[in-house]
Amino acid sequence: MEFLNDHSIQNELLLIFISVVLGILIGAEREYRNKSAGLRTFILICFGSCLFTILSIKIGVDDPDRIAANIITGIGFLGAGVIFKDDYKIDGITTATTIWATASIGMAVGSGYVYLAVLGTLLVLVILSFLTYFEKMIDREHKIREYKITVANGHDLAHCEAIFQNHHLRFTVSKQKYTHGNLTISWIVVGKNTSHQALTESLMGDKKIISYEF
């Protein structure tokens, strides 16, 4: 039977410690933004991936990737758990992909490629933090919203179109529903964020609009 020496144990403990630190860095960013998966989740993902990779290397002498390969499957279930959809949009995709990336960082640490893990962590933080400003800039110029507007008369469809045109917004009808004299229309509307804000103010003060939501 082969016994581990103290030097080997110290190296593995160091790798586990590094994985926890890297998990803290990513988890702190997600916690700061109040995401569904926060600090503890990302620490455990990074640590767990690291530990499973170490075990895979130590246990699977003939097939060292047999445990590590299944980490991706487990991470897939975790990622799916943080994605949810409402009537108008899908949330949690960025957090799910961050979970996936964090697992790869933990696996890199467990394999001994600490420099790759550190570089990966820095890239994740740059993407999550700094690229948010570019997203906001694009969003200001090209905002896409789905509006659900209810009017009292089916003929007021043209009235809604005129409102969009007055605010320089592009639009298409995605769905219509007629109930007891009221027509509810779902619109896909594209334009500047300031135009959307002006639109909502117009809808609030329009007597022909019974209700709206987006």
pLDDT band with cut points at 50, 70 and 90 for residue 98? very high
pLDDT in tens, 144-200: 888 999 887 656 778 888 899 999 999 999 888 887 778 888 999 999 999 999 999
pLDDT at 68 over 80: no
CB atoms within 10 A of CB 64: 15
As a whole number of angstroms, the distance between CA 66 and CA 52 comes to 10
Residues of the chain with CATH 3.30.70.260: 142-213
DSSP state of 169: -
CATH class of the domain at 142-213:
alpha beta
Distance CA 204, CA 30 (A): 35
* Overall pTM > 0.95: no
Structure tokens of 159?
């009235």
Q: What is the CA radius of gyration of the chain?
A: 25
Closest to 54 measured CA to CA, from 42, 71, 68, 69: 68
What pLDDT is recorded for position 141? 86
Tens of pLDDT, residues 37-50:
788 999 999 999 99
Give pairs for 161-166: CB < 8 Å, separation 24+: 163/199, 163/202, 163/203, 163/206, 164/189, 164/199, 166/202
When pLDDT is cut at 50, 70 and 90, the band that residue 85 belongs to is: low
Q: pLDDT grade, residue 75 (50/70/90)? A: confident
